[in-house]
């Protein structure tokens, strides 16, 4: 799922500074699961903003709502009339939802969240990036563990010299993390597929990754 964090309240208040009538619109999919932008977070954020603006002597009228998926017009459309009556919308969806509303409506759509990555639930309260959406998956060769997302250097042919004796990576953002290639080696052993380690990947064709600009998926059979 897409993992996001709520922006600091100071930044949100600054974005809302020019407006007195705003819809706070959440999304009940990924960002609700990671507790950043669902219905509950809309309510909590709206209360905090109302209070802060009242204390500033500049009250704000906030309408609260949440849609099933903000990245899809179908779910946003029932909110069209309400949106058109606002000075701005504060979106608690990921960046895709903000883009979607901005394409459809001629008013400022403000992002309440910082969109982070595709993540799995590692355990309660911890989400970890495990896929970087490269567009050309090799997980069948690596035992279902992605070296692009999990190796700090995106290495495709085994570990670098920075793997520590305890199997952790020398690059550490949030404390020691296992080296992706140690995980892959162990996993391939369990699957009886360690011979996959002998396969050398050619230099990756990154044309399916996002560096060539925005990507699209077109299903001709679904077009109307
Ligand atoms: S190889 Fe690409 S698509 Fe597959 S998990 Fe890794 S980043 Fe995601
Ligand atoms: S130690 Fe492992 S995970 Fe870390 S950069 Fe080297 S190969 Fe990648």
Q: What is the pLDDT of residues 55-97, one digit of tens each?
A: 999 999 999 999 999 999 999 999 999 999 999 999 999 999 9
In Å, how far from its chain's centre is CA 87? 27
Residue 131 confidence (pLDDT): 97
Check residue 175 and give its pLDDT. Answer: 87
Angle, helices 39-55/9-16, rounded to nearest 10 degrees: 70
For the chain, what's the residue count? 224
Per-residue pLDDT at 213: 84
At residue 210 the predicted structure's pLDDT band, cuts being 50, 70 and 90, is confident
* Nearest atom within ligand 2 for CA of residue 159: 7
Which ligand is closest to the CA of 163, given by its number?
2
Q: Is 36 in the pocket of ligand 1 (CB under 6 A)?
A: no
Residue 206 CA to ligand 2 centre (angstroms):
20
Instruction: Quick: pLDDT tens for 171-188.
Output: 988 889 999 999 999 999
Cβ 188 vs Cβ 181: under 8 Å:
no
Q: Which of 50, 95, 102 is closest to 76 using CA atoms?
A: 102
**pLDDT value, residue 126:** 93
Q: Is the pLDDT of residue 224 over 90?
A: no
Q: Give the distance (Å) from ligand 1 centre to CA of residue 209.
A: 10
Q: Which domains are delineated in the chain?
A: 2-117 (3.40.50.2300), 133-200 (no CATH)
For residue 173, the model assigns a pLDDT of 81
Distance CA 8, CA 53 (A): 15
The ligand whose atoms approach the alpha carbon of 117 most closely is: 1
- Nearest Cα neighbor of 118 from 128, 105, 103, 107 is 128
- How many other β-carbons are positioned within 10 Å of the β-carbon of residue 12? 22
Task: Tell me, rounded to whole angstroms, the distance of Cα 21 from its chain centroid.
Answer: 28
Q: Cβ(130)–Cβ(178) under 8 Å?
A: no
**Model confidence over 116-168: pLDDT tens digits?**
999 999 999 999 999 999 999 999 999 999 999 999 999 999 999 999 999 99
Asked if residues 40 and 80 have their Cβ atoms less than 8 Å apart, the reply is no
**Structure token digits, residue 178:** 């296992």
Q: Which of 144, 146, 157 to mutate to test the pocket of ligand 1 (most atoms within 8 A of CB)?
A: 146
Give the span between the Cα atoms of 133 and 148, in whole angstroms: 9
Q: Which pLDDT value is given to residue 172?
A: 84
Helix (H), strand (E) at residue 21: strand 21-27
HSE-up of 102 (CA within 13 Å, CB side)?
A: 13
Ligand index nearest the alpha carbon of residue 176 = 2
213 CA from centroid of ligand 2 (Å): 27
Helix or strand or coil: residue 71?
A: coil
Tell whether ligand 1 has an atom less than 6 A from the beta carbon of residue 148: yes
Looking at residue 211, its pLDDT comes to 80
């Amino acid at each position: 799922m897409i993992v996001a964090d709520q922006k600091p309240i100071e930044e949100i208040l600054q974005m809302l500074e020019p407006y007195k009538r705003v819809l706070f619109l959440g999304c009940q999919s990924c960002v609700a699961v990671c507790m950043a932008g669902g219905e509950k977070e809309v309510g909590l954020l709206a209360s905090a903003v109302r209070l802060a603006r009242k204390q500033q002597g500049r009250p704000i009228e906030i309408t609260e709502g949440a849609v099933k998926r903000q990245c899809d017009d179908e779910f946003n459309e029932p909110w069209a009339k309400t949106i058109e009556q606002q000075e701005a919308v504060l979106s608690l969806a990921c960046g895709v939802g903000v883009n979607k509303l901005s394409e459809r409506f001629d008013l400022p759509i403000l992002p309440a969240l910082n969109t982070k990555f595709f993540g799995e639930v590692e355990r309660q309260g911890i989400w970890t990036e495990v896929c970087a959406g490269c567009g050309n998956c090799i997980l069948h060769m690596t035992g279902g563990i992605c070296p692009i997302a999990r190796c700090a250097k995106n290495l495709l042919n085994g570990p670098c010299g920075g793997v520590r004796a305890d199997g952790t990576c020398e690059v550490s953002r949030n404390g020691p993390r296992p080296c992706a290639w140690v995980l892959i080696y162990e996993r391939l052993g369990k699957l009886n597929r360690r011979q996959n380690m002998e396969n050398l990947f050619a230099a990756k064709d990154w044309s399916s990754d996002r560096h060539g600009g925005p990507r699209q998926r077109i299903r001709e059979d679904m077009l109307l």
